Amino acid sequence: MKAKILVYALPTLILATIHLADAQQPGKISWIGYLTGSGLSPNQAFVQGMRDLGYVEAKNIAFVFRTTEGNPERYADLAAELVRLKVEIIVADFTSAALAAKKATSTIPIVMTAGTDPVGTGLVASLARPGGNVTGLTNISGELGGKALELLKETVPKLNRVAILRTAGGAADDVFVKETEVPARVLGVQLIPVMVQGADDFEGAFRSMTKERANGLLMRLLPNTYSVPFKRVADLTMKSRLPSIAQQLTWTDAGGLMSYGADPNINYRRAATYVDKILKGTKPADLPVEAPTKFELRINLKTAKQIGVTIPQSVLYRADKVIK
């Protein structure tokens, strides 16, 4: 299946007859590449953030959208395509997209919306001084692994074998597992990485968890990568009666037990400010990478009842949102 492309408010014929670079008119329309794992358009919080800064589609900005449609192996080709089209900036949704974009170009500025450990994965030299052509936002989810595990252990004290459901080959997931190993040992928990290539692997992944006697789950699959089956994973988690926690706040809405993380819409809106500054002449190397300052704990009590877990009052008191 060919990669999807969406250029807002401009006739498709333009792209069919005019090279993107030739269509650019300095001072009028800025072309922004957007690379992600799924979806039909750039994140709406990001688009709204650009509008709030005075950017109007087809008037002074246009988006060139590329999605892997859930196949991470396509990132490299799609990033190379955006480079050939000579977009002015590439907005990279999550770590894999940013890594592919950086490999494809050392000159086009890259703004990541939520990179996991951008220093450890080699995206930037440091958060304060990124260097090179990459900057943006980090969700520091590698560091959050220990906190998530601690919350899950506090909720289910007998927890001792926790599966990490993740995407095969994901550099960010490698970092997450590595940084969670130390707090896991302190808590007396053995981590069981379970990897999937795509949605067809979900049932097999849960059979593997049962075979490995997992009694808890750290959810690492992203809703933007598996947008439709995200609820399906939550259903399998409940069917397996696994207490679970994820960084994505929407995990509890889908039926997961707990979620702990930052509101992603804040990052997307902040990413728009990075694009704005770069379009106005600031170099990516001079824009420090920002990390979230506020994290939310959400709990789904309906799921807790269904899987037979009693949430301690000490955990409930700390929750920002409780689904009853």
How far apart, in Å, are the Cα atoms of 136 and each of 115, 196, 197, 260? Answer: 8, 28, 27, 22
Which pLDDT tens digit goes with each residue over 51-88? 999 999 999 999 999 999 878 889 999 999 999 999 99
Give me the pLDDT at residue 27, please.
55
Distance between CA 21 and CA 31 in Å, rounded? 9
Distance between CA 232 and CA 216 in Å, rounded? 17
CB-count burial class (<10 Å; 0-12, 13-18, 19+) for 107? exposed
Whether 46 and 272 have beta carbons less than 8 Å apart is answered as: yes
Report the chain's terminal Cα–Cα distance, integer Å. 41
C-alpha count within 13 angstroms, C-beta hemisphere, residue 223: 15
Give me the pLDDT at residue 217, please.
98
**Mean pLDDT for the chain overall:** 88
Long-range contacts of 272-276 (CB under 8 A, 24+ apart): 272/46, 272/48, 272/49, 272/50, 272/52, 272/53, 273/49, 273/53, 274/111, 274/135, 274/136, 274/137, 275/32, 275/50, 275/89, 275/91, 275/111, 276/50, 276/53, 276/55
Give me the pLDDT at residue 89, please.
98
Whether 101 and 66 have beta carbons less than 8 Å apart is answered as: no
DSSP state for residue 283 in the 8-state scheme: -
Distance between CA 164 and CA 201 in Å, rounded? 14
Using alpha carbons, select from 126, 117, 60, 161 the residue that is nearest to residue 288: 126
Distance between CA 92 and CA 274 in Å, rounded? 12
Position with higher pLDDT, 205 vs 226: 205
Distance between CA 103 and CA 144 in Å, rounded? 27
Total-model pTM? 0.77
Which pLDDT tens digit goes with each residue over 3-26? 444 444 343 333 333 344 444 445
Whether 116 and 142 have beta carbons less than 8 Å apart is answered as: yes
Architecture of domain 12-139+264-286: 3-Layer(aba) Sandwich (3.40)
* H or E segment and range at residue 199: none
pLDDT at residue 151 is higher than 80 = yes
CATH 3.30.2320.20 fits 142-261+295-323, yes or no: no
Distance between CA 207 and CA 195 in Å, rounded? 12
Which pLDDT tens digit goes with each residue over 263-305? 889 999 999 999 999 999 999 999 999 998 889 999 999 999 9
Which alpha helices (DSSP H) does 134-229 contain, by range?
141-155, 171-187, 202-211
Whether 243 and 257 have beta carbons less than 8 Å apart is answered as: yes
Domain residue spans of the chain: 12-139+264-286, 142-261+295-323
